Amino acid sequence: MNVAVSPSTPVAVKLATFAAEASPPPAAAATCRRLIFDIVALAIAARDTDYVQAALKSAVDEGSCTAFGHGRKLGLYDAALVNGTAAHGEDYDDTFEGGPIHAGAVIVSAVLAIAEKRGLDGKAVMRGIAVGTELMCRMSLVAPQATHKASFHPTAIFGAPAAAAAVGAAIGLDANQIARAMGISGSLASGIIEYLADGSSTKRLHAGAAAQAGIRAALLAEGGFTGPLTVFDGTNGMYKAFAPSKVPDFSHLVDTLGKEWILETLAFKPYACGTMTQPFIDCAIALANTGVKADDIVSINCNVGEGTVHRLWEPLADKHRPPNGYAGKFSTPYCMAVGFTDGEAGLGQFTDERVLDPALRALAAKVSFVIDPSDPYPRNFTGHLRAVLKDGSVREIRQPYMRGGAHEPLPDDEMQAKFEANLKFGGFTTERIGALRDALGRIADGERVDLSAARV
């Protein structure tokens, strides 16, 4: 059933009409292709971690869906939970500048799970991923920073309705059903950011839980269950509940929808840590490349955006001494210190052992910040450092944008190297990597969905 769209039409109905009819252009499809490869490899890289093993132990049934990097096949909901949690677990997954949100771990996990359950082909998969990713990116722009300010994680909150739309598009729900599915998802969305206090695992869970919630909402709507069509713009809607400090601007969500695909600007991370730390790592690596040594440095001061402080800079004393590898990913001082020292910030730089390195902690303790009122965050993620050296000289370095994003996308060879490195980290041989590459390529080309190469 088609739903008429007018200026007074609820936002969810407008989004659902797009979801039911959308056909992604080649550039958007190319981004979705990157997403599939990146997300599956990231999930496999994390397969032996304690949090993925715990998620697997929580699974309640066997089924027909692949848990990436594992021999066991799971039921639909458990597969989405485990894969989404694993893919987002090391914070090495895609991000959207302006949000920030992590769409791939949510949307790819949800759509691949329903594809295996329902026997969908790659065309349906690619369409569902494109729809869900586009909507999730746009949802994050409606009330920027307000979701974090309310102590919620945007990936968790907006992931649920975006995944509902993605699954609905993939399985062929009509616009009314997709709108109802998003309405249902508003009651399933959740995820607080208190993990920042101790580096616990709940942020990782948010992507998997959102994927699971989106599937549940879509299948409930398919069965005739209803949810409020005013889930976004109603008096008690999601933005009122999860982003109350700002008046939502829905033009970012609905204007140009279907004409412009903003998912094409999705950023793929070069470093395995928090999004806004990445330009600062580039600055630290650039400083090291000038020949400066850690012992030469008296202090490093950084200009930062106010919206990043409570997650990545404060309490500063705690950020100087992260308690574990996961907390290190959200400490800009630690990220800068390890980037300066190692020249990289991959999975090996964020182990529980590495963050306890006295030399890294000594360097991180030299890093401080000042809020820059002119910083463009969240519209753009920049980096800056001003290093005072023992000889009295000063080095100042700026990174004007996040590498891997719209200003400087990661080249294909770097994406391929990341794919292979993550799979090797997860224990895959060269032969297995090749088989998985071929299998994912066939899905992205619209062929049969066969994920047996992702199992061990």
Handedness of CA 227, 150, 373, 340 (dihedral sign): negative
Secondary structure of residue 140 in the 3-state scheme: coil
pTM here? 0.93
Q: What percent of the chain has pLDDT over 70?
A: 98
* DSSP collapsed to 3 states, 375-425: CCCCCCCCEEEEEEECCCCEEEEEECCCCCCCCCCCCHHHHHHHHHHHHHH
**Residues facing residue 73 across a β-bridge:** 66
Residue type, 1: M
Residue 5 — very low, low, confident or very high, per pLDDT cuts 50/70/90?
Answer: low
pLDDT exceeds 50 at position 129: yes
Q: Which pair of tokens denotes residue 8?
A: 């007074």
Q: Which residues contact 256 (CB under 8 A, 6 or more apart)?
A: none
Weakest mean pLDDT among 77-86, 155-164, 188-197, 425-434: 188-197
In this structure, the number of other CB atoms found within 10 A of the CB of residue 400 comes to 13
* Distance separating alpha carbons of residues 101 and 82, to the nearest angstrom: 19
Mean pLDDT, rounded, for 293-305: 98
Peptide bond into 100 cis (omega under 30): yes
Is residue 331 a contact partner of residue 276, using CB atoms and an 8 Å limit? no
Please check whether residue 421 is in contact with residue 413, taking contact to mean a CB–CB distance below 8 angstroms.
no
pLDDT score at 4:
45
Provide Rg for the chain, Cα atoms: 21
Antiparallel, parallel or unpaired: β 394-399 and 383-389: antiparallel
208 token code pair:
């998997």
The answer to whether the beta carbons of residues 158 and 136 sit under 8 Å apart is yes
Tokens standing for residue 128: 């569902």
Please provide the distance, in angstroms rounded to a whole number, between the alpha carbons at the two ends of the chain: 43
Average pLDDT of the segment spanning 372-393:
95
- Contact between residue 199 and residue 324 where contact means Cβ atoms under 8 Å apart: yes
Alpha-carbon gap, residue 223 to 237, rounded angstroms: 23
> What pLDDT score does 1 carry?
32
Q: What is the pLDDT of residue 3?
A: 41
- The whole-number average pLDDT for the span 181-209 is 94
DSSP 8-state symbol, 73: E
**161 pLDDT more than 90:** yes
Q: What is the pLDDT of residue 8?
A: 85
> Residue 255 pLDDT more than 80?
yes
How confident is the prediction for the chain on average, in pLDDT?
96
Please tell me the distance from the alpha carbon of residue 171 to that of residue 230, in angstroms, as a whole number. 23
Instruction: Tell me whether strands 297-304 and 367-371 are parallel, antiparallel or unpaired.
Output: parallel
User: What's the whole-number mean pLDDT along residues 215-220?
Assistant: 98
- Cα–Cα distance between 393 and 197 in angstroms, integer? 37
**Structure token digits, residue 232:** 């976004």
- Tokens representing 34 are 């990157």
Residue 6 has pLDDT above 70, yes or no: no
Strand 383-389 versus strand 297-304 pairing type: antiparallel
What is the average pLDDT across 107-120? Answer: 98
In this structure, what token pair is assigned to residue 452? 């047996």
- Residue 2 pLDDT class (50, 70, 90 cuts): very low
**Using alpha carbons only, what angle is made at residue 169 by residues 435 and 265, rounded to the nearest 5 degrees?**
70
The C-alpha atoms of residue 252 and residue 2 are separated, in whole angstroms, by 24
As given in the structure block, the two tokens for residue 275 are 């999004």
- Please check the confidence at residue 211 and state whether its pLDDT lies above 80: yes
Distances (CA, A) of 41 to 34, 60, 109: 11, 25, 12
Percentage, residues of the chain above pLDDT 90: 93
Task: Say which DSSP state 225 is in.
Answer: -
Tell me what pLDDT residue 7 has: 67
